[in-house]
Each structure stands twice: as structure tokens, then as C-alpha cells.
Structure 1
């Protein structure tokens, strides 16, 4: 009886507390101001890729306008800014890009704009402060290490002909097992 009363009490508390969230107060008025959106927009952030745009969106939310350098679906490594892209970049308040030389066009584009270039910052940097990532040497180093010391086992993919070559022969050996006569049957 005690457990039943406890279960009913807990159920009633949960039901009533969930219904309390549905109640509204008609006297509460919306004090939002349309001009507040203009005040909270801190400017235009030009980004090099969708991924950097997502980082900016996660940090700044709706308080900035995000503009993408490439308006097309062009890989960042193959992208070259057009004249219209350069104008949009000049009009931006700040430019954020991956860095680590993943966008080979960034340094030359910013230097060609000179003083008209917006402040620009890399979103990815090496802990040592290096601006370029020597990924080729890391790949070769890791590959050689894995090939020599990796967690791999030697496996032969295929049958060796000396393993068990008496299946399907006329002189079939049943290996001493009397119930081992099903090799070569159609309903196997």
C-alpha cells in the first residue's frame, strides 16, 4: 500500500509540474525592439569555407553577417577569387580562413589588396605558432612507422594448393569420419 501511494504521489507531482509549464500570463508583453537587431549586428565576416562559416556562426550567432568567398561549390584548394569576390572581400569587416596553407590563394590575395584588405585571421594554427603544416612529412613518417611497427598480422588471402587438395577427387578420403561423405553432393 505504501509503494502505491508513493507512486501515485510522484505521478501527480510530475503531471502537475508539466502542466504548470503550459500556463501563460496574458499580462506579459513583448518588449523586443526592431532596432535592436541593427544594434547587435557587428558587421560582415567574410569566411573562406563553409566550415569556417559554421565556426563563426556557432560563436557569434546572428550578431554578425557571414559571407562566403566562394559562391560556388569549388574545392578550397582549387578556388581562385574573381573580381567580384575581391570587391566583397574589401567590403568585409574581417576575414577568417583555415590557415596552415590549406587555401593557397589567401596570402597572395591579401597581399594584392594591400591596405584595402580587411583584418584577417587563421582559425587553425599549430601549437608552435607555425603557419604552415608540413603534412607530407607527417604522412610519410606515420606510414613508415605503421608499416614497420603497426598492429598488422601477416595474412594470405587465397588458398594454398598443398593445404587440402583431396576434395572433389574420385579417391575421396573421409579423414576417419564416417559422416563425412557430403562433399560433391548437390544439396550441400
Structure 2
């Protein structure tokens, strides 16, 4: 009888322990899945610029949730991470930024986050011999204006997605190929349009030197009042030299940028007018930032096409 009671007691205790373990397991699973339920089980990606975010949202499709830290009109050269940004970076699964010192003020934040999760500077996957440098040897970070180079960057980001979620690798690859076909069409369209501009008028004058890759791709001479970074200062000599170029080639228009102060370009227009050359404001170009979300200019392809059409309309004016 005593043996039977002892056995019954042990069995009862075992049932209690198993029930407790089962309940604890359920609680742990619930806690672990809480964040996944909030994002619908999607891969949470945080990018710096929209030029990365929008294409990656297309390539990732329904499996990703992409957020860009820098919106329309934001200058990435000067941008500093806020506490809110740090929280977004920490709660993400993958962080994608352009690199090549474009987001120079965020280097420390990227270094810290990279110890916990994948952090990729996508433009640093481009072969060095394809990159442009200024007179002092600094690398030009505005690689998204060369479609072929931007495809290399987006390829690197796609590979990171495949590595993180191999079960969806084939879908990511298919989405990327479809999107790259659209980029190839955009490149073909842009070349056809810009080569219609007489060669002597293919001079693009902007606030800062963000269009070097664009100029190389389409045989357009680019003049930027500031250097590669908007932190560079603009001197009187920079303005005078630009006016001399306008006078020499009878350039009909100059351009402002959506993320850059317009005062320097207006000074160039006024200076040219004093010397007898009627220079128009050719329009606003998107350089370091794209347009508002939900608009054509809020997409990489739409932003690029806007720039091409704006430049063509201003520099191809008849009778100038």
C-alpha cells in the first residue's frame, strides 16, 4: 500500500512539473513572437536614404517591411541620427545604407549596430575602379546617378536578403530581375533623350557636385558650386568661375536641388545677367533625396526620369 501511495505521489508531481514546463514554454514562445506578429512576420529593414528603401521594397515584395530614416529634402551629408532613429535601427532585422562616406555622421551608430545584426554599406560593393574621386582623392558617393552602378549596389542588398531569408531567395531574385529590366529601359530612354541636346550645351550647373556619375554616363559636363559634400564652403571665386563657364558656352539654364539651399545658384544667375547673359532657372532636380512618398518622384525610377526630362527641357531650348 505504501509503495502504491509513493508511486501515486511521484506521478502526481511529475504531471504538475510537466504542466508548468508546458505553460512556461507557451509564454516564452508568445514573447518571442510578439515582434513578428506586429510586423506580420516580415523582415524589418531600415535604410538611410529612399533611393535604397523604395527599390528594396519592390525586390523584397510582401516579405519585407522597409523604412527610410531620411525623407524628402533631407541632406544625408549633414544628417545626424536621432534617438528615434537609434530605436528604429535597434528594432530592425537588417540595416542598409549607401556608404562611401555619404552618411558620415552616422558611422559610429552603424558600427555599434553591426555587432548585433547585418549592417551593409551597399555602394561599397562597387569595384573601386568604377568610382569617381575629386581633386583631393575623396570618393564621390552619389553612385545612384549611374544606373549600372546602382544595380551593383542593389544586387548586394538582394544577396543580403537571400542570406537572411533563404526560403524566399528565388522570389527575391525574380523580383530583382524584373526591376532591373525596368532600370535597363530607363537607361536606354535617358541616353536617347540626353544625346538630343547639342554637345556644346550639355553643361549641367548645380548647387553641389552630386551629378558626376550622371555626367559620365551621358557625356554631360557637370559644374557644382560646392564639392562632393554640402559641408564644403562656396567662395566668391566658385561663383565667378561658374559664371565664366556660362558665358563661354552660352548655357541657357542652371538648376537648384531639392535638398540644397538655392542662394548660391541665384547668385550665379544674377552675376550672369550683369554680364549680359540671360540664364534661366532650369528647374529643381533631386540629388541627395527623392520626392514625396506616393508621387512619381518618390520612386527611384520616377525621380531619375524627372531629372532627365527637366535637364532636357532646359538645356535643349531652341533659339538659344
Shorter-chain TM-score bucket reads: 0.3 to 0.5
Q: So what's the TM-score if we normalise by structure 2?
A: 0.28
Highest CA radius of gyration, 1 or 2? 1
Higher helix share: 2
Q: Which has the higher strand share?
A: 2
| Higher RCO, 1 vs 2 (CA within 8 Å, ≥6 residues apart) | 2
TM-score, length of structure 1 as denominator length: 0.45
